[in-house]
Structure 1
Amino acid sequence: MSDLPGFTLPLLASIIAGGVIGFEREWRGRAAGFRTHILVCLASCLLMEAAVSQGAWRFLPISGSEIVSDPTRMAHGVLTGIGFLCAGVIFRQGFSVHGLTTAASLWITSALGVLFGVGLYTLGAVGTVLTAAVLVALRLVSKRMPQITIVDADVVWRRGDPEAEGRVHAALGEIDGTRRGGKIELIDGGAAVRQRFRLALQGEPAVRALSGRLQTIEGVTGYSLDPRDD
């Protein structure tokens, strides 16, 4: 119990750091948000506090032996183990991979917890500010830059319409001449054809324009446009 006052500052700092980063992810509606980032940072801090306090552990060493503690082994274990959690928020859909930014934010949140756990408060605070700046400020900068939106497009047309495929490709070519075609399959018992494309469009207006264009193509029975947003 006498050690608890010394643990207070690292634990509070880890909660604040995890909350700052998690708030941005929660605001963006990501799967790993406010509570997840706080728990990751707090868990890393707790484990490092345990590692640097090995002298207080209750165990009986072998008579005549000397115990040498190495807290860095705990840090290695924490940062390796957090990889399994990060992998859970990364998924692939079509041509795109989603969740990489959230996974990176979880990983750096764990690293910040390690820093606070070993008492490197200044470095941890600087890391928190820089991480928040990367997630928030740089996103604001990117919004002022020319927007290229990567879109996974699934288009379905009637199998019995020989001209439908040509009309679809022509419409997509008008919007993105560098489009990439992907998986082609028969669906609805062979009554329709579905093909996946990867498109690079000029922001959300272009996505809406493409949606309206596909609605006017004779023979198209369905489509799905999935903009990539990490």
Structure 2
Amino acid sequence: MTLMQRFELSQLIDLSIDVAVAFVLATLIGAERQYRQRSAGLRTNVLVAVGAATFVSIGSRLNANAGAAQLAAYIVSGIGFLGAGVIMKDGSKVWGLNTAATLWCSAAVGTLAGIGLLPEAVVVTMAVLAGNTLLRPLVDAINRAPVNERTSEATYEVHVLTEAAHVGEVRDQLITALENASYPIREVEVSERSDDVTELAATLVSTSIEPDELDAVATALKASPLVSHASWSSTTDD
């Protein structure tokens, strides 16, 4: 009897519409992710949106706008844990950030649908799809553009090979050469490449450099009889 008293057809219809809209819109987002073989594809995005819509609908029913706001806040923080599960890091390379951000936006779509802001949910869905599709050619064009060391921010290292017996002397030469070129050093790592060869890698504090200046440093280090090889490299910070 209590169950029948709590049942209201109008509320059921409202919830059904909200969940259906969240389902359809998240299907559009998830289909694009599935097509690109991302770790969080069609079903994941749909479930995130439907769950978000359901939770805020429950909160709204229990405590009106205040309840919906409370549940929405929990969704924003809770979806972060789900997003963290699709982010992978290997050294300086990171994968899954875009997928995690898409899940976050799917939760936003579901939240909007759950509180009845259906036109707003459609707008956000279109924005997410545009970000994942229309911006892709621009991203590819930027990635294909030649890297300008003078303006790009990256981590720069100067590498020197020497014999183990001369590590101390070569380390001093490396530090002196970079200081003379006005490139302060963050750290110098020493690693054995083989029984006879040791590598010194000096990481620079600077995030942008003049290529000709580091080329000159490498050339000067190569001139030392204690150095068998000298070069520099860069990796992007992202």
Aligned to 1:92, the other structure's residue is in SS state: strand
Measured at CA, do residues 184 and 124 of structure 1 come closer, stay the same or move farther in structure 2, by a change above 3 Å?
A: same
Structure 1 stretches of 4+ moved >6 Å: 182-187
Give the superposition deviation at 1:70: 3.1
Q: For residues 93-138 of structure 1, give each alpha carbon's deviation from its aligned partner in whole angstroms, at most 9, with x where no partner exists.
A: 1112221111111111101111000000111100000110010010
Give the superposition deviation at 1:140: 2.5
TM-score by length of 1: 0.59
Aligned to 2:94, the other structure's residue is in SS state: strand
Q: Is the 8 A contact 1:54 1:69 kept in 2?
A: no
Taking the aligned partners of 1:134 and 1:34, their CA distance within structure 2 comes to 17
**Which one of 83, 90, 93 corresponds to residue 80 of structure 2?**
83
Determine whether 1:108 maps to 2:83. no
The percent identity for this pair of structures is 29
Q: For residues 32-85 of structure 1, give each alpha carbon's deviation from its aligned partner in whole angstroms, at most 9, with x where no partner exists.
A: 111110000000000011011116xxxxxxxxxxx9953211100011111100
Find the counterpart in structure 2 of residue 30 from structure 1: 38
**Count of matched residue pairs:** 182
Query: Highest Rg: 1 or 2?
Result: 2
Q: For residues 134-179 of structure 1, give each alpha carbon's deviation from its aligned partner in whole angstroms, at most 9, with x where no partner exists.
A: 1001003333444469xxxxxxxxxx9xxxxxxxxxxxxxxxxxxx
Q: How does 1:123-202 map to 2 (within 5 A)?
A: 123-145=120-142, 146-147=144-145
Structure 2: stretches of 5+ with no match in the other structure = 1-6, 148-162, 164-186, 202-237
TM-score by length of 2: 0.57
Measured at CA, do residues 94 and 115 of structure 1 come closer, stay the same or move farther in structure 2, by a change above 3 Å?
A: same
Find the counterpart in structure 1 of residue 3 from structure 2: none
Root-mean-square deviation (CA, aligned residues, Å) is 4.5
Taking the aligned partners of 1:68 and 1:118, their CA distance within structure 2 comes to 9
Find the counterpart in structure 1 of residue 92 from structure 2: 95
